Structure 1
Amino acid sequence: MRYIAFVHKEPDSVYGVSFPDLPGCISFGDTLDEAATHAVEALCGHVRMMEADGDSIPSPRSYDEIVADPELVEDRKDAILTVVPLIRNRGATTRINLSLDVGLLEAIDDAARARGQTRSAFLASAAHREITG
């Protein structure tokens, strides 16, 4: 699931991120990359708190729906629109069956070992980086 976010930058300020489908969910960063990373964390945390409070999580609207919403005209002004993936940390792991080329698996194991990680931890961090860009 991906949510549209507005990124604003005023002169002499940080990049601010807000989510029109999740009022109150905001983030920032000194650079655009940092703001994007923090936006993923903010989105996850915001949704986790909403779930803990028993609130329903709104489905993300499409780009066209966001652009067509007359209530968002001011919020969209001078904003960069981007998508932010919702990566829920459920606090539990699950076992999966995965098929890979033997050579790729050897390379994964070598890279994981060099980083002091397990194969699973390495694949999880690689997937997280790929999803969040």
Structure 2
Amino acid sequence: MHVYIGLLRKDPDSSYGVDFPDFPGCVTAAATLVEVGPMAVEALTFHIEAMREDGDPIPAPSSLEAIMADPFNHEAVPILVPVPDGLFDASRDAAAAE
């Protein structure tokens, strides 16, 4: 199973939001903490499926240290978001990482 870091954010008077530093533009939101985990998995899975269909390489997960080094992320809470291994083509992704 592949695991990426999502960043949980919550402003007063808003839903819980999750964004993914490794996947700019991939975001989701939920009304409760119970809902936000499954919503994050679903959003990231759909995003990766769309990238695959477009022929885009899937990035390797960034480290927690690298993600949290960005000052914009200091207020966020990192969460682990697993995605199914079936979405990955190891040979293609290894070539993209080089």
1:86 positional shift: 1.1
Name the CA distance, whole Å, in 2 between partners of 1:77 and 1:67.
Answer: 6
User: After TM superposition, what 4+ stretches of structure 1 lie above 4 angstroms from structure 2?
Assistant: none
1:88 positional shift: 5.5
| Higher RCO (CA 8 Å, separation ≥ 6 residues) | 2
Consecutive unaligned residues of structure 1, counting only runs of 5 or more, are 91-133
Aligned to 1:20: 21
Amino acid at match of 1:30: A
Aligned to 1:46: 47
Percent sequence identity over matched residues?
43
Higher normalized strand content (fraction of residues)? 2
1:53 positional shift: 0.4
| Partner SS for 1:21 | coil
| Partner SS for 2:9 | strand
What root-mean-square deviation, in Å, do the aligned CA atoms of Structure 1 and Structure 2 show? Answer: 1.4
State the TM-score, normalized to the length of structure 1.
Answer: 0.60
Consecutive unaligned residues of structure 2, counting only runs of 5 or more, are 88-98
Preserved contact between residue 68 and residue 74 of structure 2 (Cα < 8 Å): no
Over alpha carbons, which structure has the higher Rg?
1
